[in-house]
Chains A and B, each alone.
Chain A
Amino acid sequence: MGEAIEQFFASLPARAPAVLRSPIAGTLQIDLTTGNRTDHWLIELAPGSVRVRHEHGPADAVWTSSAGLFERLVTGRAQGIASVLRNECTFSGQVLLFLAFRRFFPDPPGTRDPRQTAREQAGRPA
């Protein structure tokens, strides 16, 4: 299991108040495969809070992908919905849970604030 993934899950409870603002609650199971091995994570989402457990259990929705893809998602180098569309991962259960969870994924590396770019181009102070 990559360090980026461990760090990502560890950061969720502290980030939840800012990220999970809508009244959505439920449990998302994330199954990450590396070779023959599958790592299970259970994420309990509620307004303003997240509980993360490194285990298997009953869930309202299940996300399955390689650990490699998930590492790209948590570092902003891949995008979740496109991955589903090209069938690089699967998703079943309550879609809104995943849509709420994807809000934890960061910007692609090196992304600039578009306002800064636009103001520079128009010759206006940032």
Chain B
Amino acid sequence: MTERVSILDGNTFLVCDRQGDIEPSFDFPTGLFSFDTRFLSTWLLTLDGQRLHALSIDDAQSYRTRFFLVPGEPTHYLDAKVSVIRSRSIGGSFAEELTVLNHSEREVEFALRLDMGADFADLFEIKHERQKKGRTSPTVGDNELRLSYRREGFHREVVISTSARGEIDDRGMTFRIRVGRHGEWTTRLHVATNIYGARGEDVRATLPLGGRRGAADIHAEQNDLIDRAPKLGCDCQSLAGAYRRSLNDLAALRYESITLGVRLLAAGLPWFMTLFGRDSLFTSLQLLPFLPALVPPTLLMLAGLQGSRLDDFRDEEPGKILHELRYGETAGFEEQPHSPYYGSADSSPLFVILLDEYERWTGDAGLVRKLESQARAALNWIDTYGDLLGTGYVWYMTRNPETGLQNQCWKDSWDSVSYRDGRLPAFPRATCELQGYAYDAKLRGARMARRIWNDPAYADRLEREAAELKKRFNRDFWIPERGYYALALDPEGRHIDALSSNIGHLLWSGIVDESRAVSVAEHLLGPRLFSGWGVRTLADDQGRYNPVGYHVGTVWPFDNSIIAWGLWKYGFREEAGRICESVVSASRFFDGRLPEAFAGYERDLTDYPVQYPTACSPQAWSAGTPLLLLRVMLGLEPQGEHLIIDPAVPEGMGRVELLDIPGRWGRVDALGRSRSPHDDTRGH
């Protein structure tokens, strides 16, 4: 696989090769994308007809890259008489400065050519080359090339302009230049991506926050956000690096919703640069102790877009919180259901959980009052449409077999839910963690009802229902002969008996009977699930186990952060610490940027975590992982108006100091230190 370089600003991003070039690709989304549309599919630089080769790349910043290039193959470049610098940034639009440096003693003539093209593919069309239903037309101007795409009222346009004069044709620009001895020549290319509304104006121009920000604005905004986060001081370099990188990536993943006019968090580059219910809820839970101001826009938008009717195409039901919102052509023309799509059985309980957790940290009861009706509707969904079979559990089954999701839990690939022997069960399915979330949501709903909504009768009812659910769940999901909870129930109510990481989420929810917690923790840290880099999604002796299978053997940092939180809740500090240590160690191999997932191979086997082949990076809930792990290690838990600090820093990690943790208490500091004789040997 060609190594790729990406820059991003919210949901506008560019993926190219090591030379900075873009060539049409149908397996991986290379190109310039904004709001799910590819605005550049070709961007190819040649000098006198020759491709260039990168000497070095400076990509320290999420929104800016610089390529230092010379003509020819690597073996020839040492005596290069000419070099080219491509310096580019992204921020609403895309800008590239091209500089040609003549290193020779005489004036030289060059022909610099940039091939340009836009296929206006919807992100969902990338994997399969399709005939576009609309029409693309080029217009050549004095110093610009304009490519327009129209399908009925749908109108997208890319305008590429150059500061230096060149020969412009339908497919690019050629610059015939003369550069003096030791001289240089430069042109600035600007690529504007336009999304037209019905009156011909760019939709983003009418947004309250202003749709475009330049590289300088992004830099300032990211710094401002990072300044507001607590300061970490620690001995462990991996942890410090991962924390810094996470804050940067979370800042970069914020985007402006084109239809909603607020800043939301995109889920992951390149496939998931949009609003996901589950991803944004989990990410919000992870970053709440650090950046609480990012949470309310997410809650407000998910509430505003809450399901209100029955719609089979979108798997929508009243009270349900959305799964995925897209902005592209296939969503608009209903070739895909993402307008929004509601195929997620966990986002509704998670919405209630986040709202409660947010208030516990910030004391912002106003938002809990404002969203009371939506929170009640989400709770109501659990017992009505969520309980498809009327058995007191949350089940899922898509009504859109063509473009809907089969599995509507976080492991949403087609083969993620199986019996131990690998067989796939029928639908509907009730995975275990959904019941845990439902239980937690009821208890948290009860807390909000009692303290903020002034409805003690409703609180009593929710608590009673939660207690009944816990009892029922421990009876129906527990597999006594195996000592763990079933991954799910099949439509007959039988155990789907695979051993999976889902049981870790049960600890987080608190639905596990105390008497069974030890057994669950032992399985999570046992050799079948724990790889040394973290807990595998599926145990390595199960029928469908595959160390590079998306949800059937890989290790997900986000999953591990929730499991660590759960272990801590049940008092397993040492076990939680082992997970923290392993994931933090893994982050070192990715320059602090944890990918979506890595392979489930034993740590001893590879000595480094093998990245899942098409993993998204940066990915919001992976970026959120180091934050939640810090919370777990320092034992940060709001209680009333105070923050409880109860650190248990894993062996070898040394000092961990988090200053200015924001919350209803103002700002407080937390300090932890591992107690072990090995602590003197630093450099973790």
Contacts and interface: CB of A to CB of B under 8 A. Distances in A.
Interface of A: 19, 21-23, 64, 76, 79, 81-92, 95-96, 99-100, 102-103, 105-108, 111-115, 117-119, 121-122, 124
B388 A111 contact: no
Given A81-B259, A114-B385, A124-B390, A108 B373 contact: no
Nearest to B395: A118
Interface of B: 151-155, 196-199, 206, 259-261, 300, 303-305, 308-314, 317, 327-329, 331-334, 339-340, 369-374, 377, 384-385, 387-390, 395, 397, 399, 427-428, 491-492
A117 B153 contact: no
Given A22-B374, A64-B198, A118-B428, A82 B332 contact: yes
13 contacts: A76-B309, A82-B332, A85-B327, A85-B332, A86-B329, A86-B332, A87-B153, A92-B206, A99-B305, A102-B308, A115-B385, A118-B395, A118-B397
A27 to B, nearest CB: 17
A51 B357 CA distance: 37
A95 B259 contact: yes
Nearest to B156: A87
B209 to A, nearest CB: 12
B154 A86 contact: yes
A122 B312 contact: no
- Could you tell me the dominant secondary structure of chain A's interface residues? mixed
A90 B151 CA distance: 16
A100 B300 CA distance: 12
B332 to A, nearest CB: 3
Contacts of B491: 121-122
A87 B371 contact: no
B512 to A, nearest CB: 27
A117 B390 CA distance: 12
Contacts of A112: 310
Given A83-B332, A87-B198, 18 more contacts: A21-B373, A22-B371, A82-B331, A85-B339, A86-B332, A87-B152, A88-B152, A88-B198, A89-B198, A92-B206, A96-B304, A103-B309, A108-B310, A115-B385, A118-B388, A119-B388, A122-B389, A124-B390
A122 B154 contact: no
A23 B371 CA distance: 8
B389 A119 contact: yes
Given A95-B259, A111-B310, A113-B310, A90 B388 contact: no
Contact of B303 (A22, A105, A111, A114): A22
Contacts of B328: 85
Given A81-B339, A111-B312, A122-B389, A87 B154 contact: yes
Contacts of B331: 82, 85
B338 to A, nearest CB: 9
Contacts of B428: 118, 122
A30 B186 CA distance: 51
A41 B490 CA distance: 50
Contact of A84 (B259, B311, B317): B259
Contacts of B197: 87, 90
Contact of A79 (B300, B327, B339): B339
Contacts of A21: 373, 377
Given A87-B196, A122-B389, A107 B310 contact: yes
B310 to A, nearest CB: 5
A124 B304 contact: no
A108 B400 CA distance: 14
A96 B306 CA distance: 11
B261 A86 contact: no
Contacts of B427: 121
A21 B390 CA distance: 27
A107 B311 CA distance: 6
A88 B377 CA distance: 31
B389 A95 contact: no
B311 A81 contact: no
B312 A108 contact: yes
B340 A115 contact: no
Given A107-B311, A115-B388, A122-B428, A86 B373 contact: no
Given A22-B303, A23-B370, A108-B312, A88 B153 contact: yes
A119 B385 CA distance: 12
Residue of A83, A100, A121 ringed by the most chain B CB atoms within 10 A: A121
Contacts of B317: 114
Residue of A22, A92, A118 ringed by the most chain B CB atoms within 10 A: A118
Contacts of B151: 86
A77 B246 CA distance: 44
B259 A85 contact: yes
Nearest to A87: B153
Contacts of B370: 22-23
Given A95-B260, A111-B311, A86 B333 contact: yes
Residue of B155, B261, B387 ringed by the most chain A CB atoms within 10 A: B261
B311 A108 contact: yes
B373 A22 contact: yes
A20 B331 CA distance: 27
